[in-house]
């Protein structure tokens, strides 16, 4: 019997009260993975020696949304509009990403995750779009996260276009940072009308796709986003089989 692939989801940190604090991931992430046939596991930021165990445990990884990436990792000083940063998470996820790419583990990078993979590959970020980029698009929407607010054009030759079976898609938008200089090895395959990079992927056999929007929250009402998660989970399953047969 074919086993369901285990999908590790990186996590943020929330402190509600003095006695209520801990790792956090929006429930839409694990719901989307379950719907696609995977088994979700939340991965707390951990000491770097734990990463090898995470790699052995999980067949695919979601780099999830959350805090801003500290600009020290891409050689810039902090902008006055920089949001909160989480040093332990930055170090953990950047190290994890480098090892995932080396092991060719399937990666779906979402929002902050897209930015993490870009920084891990030597790219840079716009630290605050509203003050640094003249755009009519509100990239940090005030409506519910499941609702699309602007279009994205997808390159017709891209893996992403083949997955979602479309070259235009309306997406939600919950970010104030974005890719500026593209990281080495990444291809920009999706753009919003203001030319902000909204999707990236890497050439090769490994599944490495990053999107700036939040597809997990659109899955219930959007066939294209369901296809994205199904394709990712299937890639994780295939990679697991390949590792077992190696």
Residues with catalytic annotation? 111, 214, 216
Q: Report the run of H or E that residue 53 belongs to, with start and end.
A: helix 51-57
| CB of 181 closer than 8 Å to CB of 215 | no
| Rounded-to-integer distance, Cα 175 and Cα 114, Å | 11
3-state SS, one letter per residue, for 126-182: ECCHHHHCCCCCCCECCCCCCCCCEEEEECCCCHHHHHHCCCEEEECCECCCEECCC
């Amino acid at each position: 019997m074919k086993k369901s692939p285990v999908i590790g989801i990186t996590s943020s940190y929330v402190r509600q009260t003095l006695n209520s604090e801990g790792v956090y991931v929006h429930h839409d992430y694990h719901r989307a993975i379950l719907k696609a046939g995977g088994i979700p596991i939340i991965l707390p930021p951990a000491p770097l020696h734990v990463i090898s165990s995470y790699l052995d445990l999980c067949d695919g990884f979601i780099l999830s949304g959350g805090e801003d990436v500290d600009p020290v990792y891409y050689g810039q000083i902090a902008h006055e509009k920089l949001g909160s940063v989480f040093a332990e998470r930055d170090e953990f996820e950047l190290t994890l990403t480098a090892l995932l790419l080396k092991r060719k583990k399937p990666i779906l990078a979402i929002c902050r995750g897209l930015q993490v993979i870009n920084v891990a590959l030597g790219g840079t970020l716009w630290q605050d779009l509203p003050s640094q980029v003249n755009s009519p698009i509100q990239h940090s929407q005030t409506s519910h996260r499941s609702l699309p607010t602007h279009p994205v054009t997808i390159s017709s030759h891209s893996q992403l276009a083949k997955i979602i079976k479309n070259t235009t898609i309306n997406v939600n938008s919950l970010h104030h940072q974005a890719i500026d200089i593209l990281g080495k090895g990444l291809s920009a395959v999706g753009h919003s009308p203001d030319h902000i990079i909204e999707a990236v992927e890497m050439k090769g056999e490994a599944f490495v796709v990053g999107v700036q929007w939040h597809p997990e929250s659109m899955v219930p009402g959007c066939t294209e986003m369901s296809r994205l998660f199904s394709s990712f989970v299937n890639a994780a399953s295939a990679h697991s089989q390949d590792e077992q047969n190696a």
